[in-house]
Structure 1
Amino acid sequence: MNKKLLAVAIAASAFGTQAVAVELYNNDGSTFSMGGHVSVNVNGSEAEDASVGTNSPRINFGATQDLGNGFTAEAKGEWDLNLLENSDESFTTRLGYIGVTHAEYGSTYVGTQWAPFYDVAGVTDLPIAFANDFLYTGDDFAKTGQTRADNMVSYRNGMDFGNAGALNVGIGWQGTADSKTATGITEYSDRVQFALSYAIMGANLGYAYSTGDVKGLGGASGALDYHVFSAAYGSYGNGLYLAGVYQLSEDKYVTREESDSYELIAAYALANSLNLSVNYETVEITEKVANTKSTDREELALQAEHHFTSKFVGYTGYQFDLKSEDGYTSDDKWVIGARYYL
């Protein structure tokens, strides 16, 4: 696998981090860099008055070391920043891993990291304001490895077929973990996942699968499975970009629910660095016991992002709540803000 293909294989890390790092040190095969971003906005909705908010501000530090014979060691730590309130928890962990990469043998990472599953699922998770909420549902998404994954060992590699395209493969394993809530403890057994994608002529097709047992309240337990399919064309922020994601979630015992989640995005970046996008998301839940089907959410967002410089971005968006079930009150949302990349 050549270095260009390796970059493609792990490109999903850019989906979630949109990283812009500044190299602070580079000498004798060692580098050290700092990155992240700060975002502030004014936002509101039909249900709530306008307020000052933020959008996942973070800071990270990364280091690499040339090990010789084509191997490179890498370490990274990233933390959420609490910008708006005085708090004892000013920093919370987003990423923390050590890895080794090789142009031919692939890359291996250990720690809290972006999962191979997200290599496939993250192709629509790109606008700053509104995108891919279903991947981050609840507090345990990092324990199931849909986006960032806690306690994971991962491996990625790929094959370059020249004009015939490139095949990328990723696998991941997570150890056991518990999640404590006010109502009890949810126990996650070790989980495994794999991801497969094929890129050719600006298009990318992908599939990923994640599985592992979960033990919930009352001792009920069973497999919690995720299947995700994606397709994308182009590069977000560079002309036309089209992408879609479908995720099937199957809780085979604990809650005995299935959910079908969809996200579609169409974006076009103008030559003046104005990027316009529209995205649609819906989640439908089927309760197996009651044999009922309902819409958990259905939303359409119009968004705009403008790069005033490479580090300073203004953004705005309006999200229409399209859910229309009996007794439901819609809650349209809006936001206008700015992001500065460190």
Structure 2
Amino acid sequence: MKIKLLAATIAATACGTNAFAAEIYNSEGSTISLGGYVDVGLGEYGSSDEVEVHQVSPRINIGGTQDVGNGITVDAKGEWAIDYLDGGDTSFTTRLGYIGMTHEQAGRLALGTQWAPYYDIAGVADMPIAFANDFLYDNHGNLATGRGDKMVTYRKGLTLGEGMSLDFGLGWQGKHTEVGDNAGIYDSRGQIAVSFSVMGGAIGYVYNGGDVDNVDAESHAVSLKYGSYGDGIYAALVYANNDNFYDGLYESEHYEALFAYALGNGLNLSVNYEAAEGKATSSSSEQTQFSQSAIQAEYSVTPKLVTFAGYQFDLGDDDPATKDDDKWTIGVRYFL
């Protein structure tokens, strides 16, 4: 059984195009790269009910690697979200900031704000540019369902044979108190992820647990995927079962499905579905929190320039006070 070298960085984009980074320095085992992208769209998007110019998730990052010998490579990355439409004090906000160490046999250890092992499993449907996964980003910094704040991770992969691999991931966050949005006392949290890949397909499971305000808040998620997004057929399914995990919900379940087909001419078509069901107390009835589906198209004009269009249908919920609110957008993304 042969150890598989893990990738030095976890994918930071939620789209089918490659995450470009320009290497601006390479000497004596050290590299420095600059990357990210800017995007802009027109439509009814996000919380707006009016047609307006908007951004999706622009960012800029700088990363570096250093070969320190004995098969060990140290890497570091800083990444910031860019708000170039509204600006002000939040023009730049932190997305990532970590230092990692990778060894071909021992695996990879990283410390800082980074993509969590939970996302390795549950993020397989979070691919289209315009409309993708919503539930992963609800308080994800504290719960480490997407990016995890102040987190320690360890990952290791094993190659079992031709076309087969087994990957493990561990994550830990320390106890802290949050004020403002998502206020609460977050005890130490831990997560463990495992996935098995064979012949282009993969199945994964992840557990995420720890107390919030002295109540056990945990999530179990499983996923299936096939193919590579942006290269022919890609399909993914995600299911998550949660206890006291999301604010106001005693129990909840999340469902996500994505099917995409990339033509050889640079056009990638997709349809996705996402829904959440939950109940406020142990004795209350389960209600649909939201359900939505989107049809989308992405076209690579050049490898660094991608246009996109999407329409998201609001399929309704069980709250009579809310109304259906479809969304749509057309836009362009340019990779630095």
- Sort the TM-score into its range (normalised by shorter chain): over 0.9
Partner of 2:71: 70
Secondary structure of the structure 2 residue equivalent to 1:292: coil
Residues 73 and 11 (structure 1), Cα distance of their counterparts in 2 relative to 1, 3 Å cut: closer
Partner of 2:133: 132
Partner of 2:154: 155
The answer to whether the Cα contact below 8 Å between 1:40 and 1:339 also exists between their aligned partners in 2 is yes
> Normalised by the size of structure 2, how large is the TM-score?
0.93
Deviation string, structure 1 residues 183-205 (Cα, Å, up to 9, x no partner): x9411111000100000000000
1:307 and 2:300 correspond: yes
Answer 1 or 2: which has greater helix percent. Answer: 1
How far 1:168 sits from its partner (Å)? 0.2
Residues 336 and 3 (structure 1), Cα distance of their counterparts in 2 relative to 1, 3 Å cut: farther
Partner of 1:218: none
Residues 222 and 320 (structure 1), Cα distance of their counterparts in 2 relative to 1, 3 Å cut: same
Deviation string, structure 1 residues 130-152 (Cα, Å, up to 9, x no partner): 11101112xx2111110100011
Partner of 1:240: 233
Partner of 1:281: 274
Residues 275 and 164 (structure 1), Cα distance of their counterparts in 2 relative to 1, 3 Å cut: closer
1:341 and 2:329 correspond: no
The answer to whether the Cα contact below 8 Å between 1:222 and 1:254 also exists between their aligned partners in 2 is no
CA distance in structure 1 between the aligned counterparts of 2:249 and 2:123, rounded to whole angstroms = 26
Partner of 1:228: 221
Number of aligned residues? 332
CA distance in structure 2 between the aligned counterparts of 1:185 and 1:271, rounded to whole angstroms = 48
Identify which range, 245-254 or 93-102, moves more after superposition. 245-254
CA distance in structure 2 between the aligned counterparts of 1:90 and 1:332, rounded to whole angstroms = 28
> Normalised by the size of structure 1, how large is the TM-score?
0.92
Partner of 2:177: 178
CA distance in structure 2 between the aligned counterparts of 1:71 and 1:87, rounded to whole angstroms = 41
Partner of 2:30: 30
1:264 and 2:263 correspond: no
Secondary structure of the structure 1 residue equivalent to 2:122: helix
The answer to whether the Cα contact below 8 Å between 1:36 and 1:341 also exists between their aligned partners in 2 is yes
Q: Which residue type is aligned with residue 330 of structure 2?
A: I
How far 1:325 sits from its partner (Å)? 3.7
1:41 and 2:41 correspond: yes
Q: Which residue type is aligned with residue 40 of structure 1?
A: V
Query: RMSD value over aligned CA atoms?
Result: 2.2
Taking every aligned residue pair, what percent have the same amino acid on both sides?
A: 47
Partner of 2:6: 6
The answer to whether the Cα contact below 8 Å between 1:283 and 1:295 also exists between their aligned partners in 2 is yes
The answer to whether the Cα contact below 8 Å between 1:256 and 1:289 also exists between their aligned partners in 2 is no
How far 1:88 sits from its partner (Å)? 2.1
How far 1:164 sits from its partner (Å)? 6.2
- Aligned pairs for 1:86-101 (under 5 A) are 86-101=87-102
How far 1:16 sits from its partner (Å)? 4.3
How far 1:44 sits from its partner (Å)? 1.0
Q: Which residue type is aligned with residue 341 of structure 1?
A: F
CA distance in structure 2 between the aligned counterparts of 1:206 and 1:178, rounded to whole angstroms = 31
CA distance in structure 1 between the aligned counterparts of 2:329 and 2:249, rounded to whole angstroms = 36
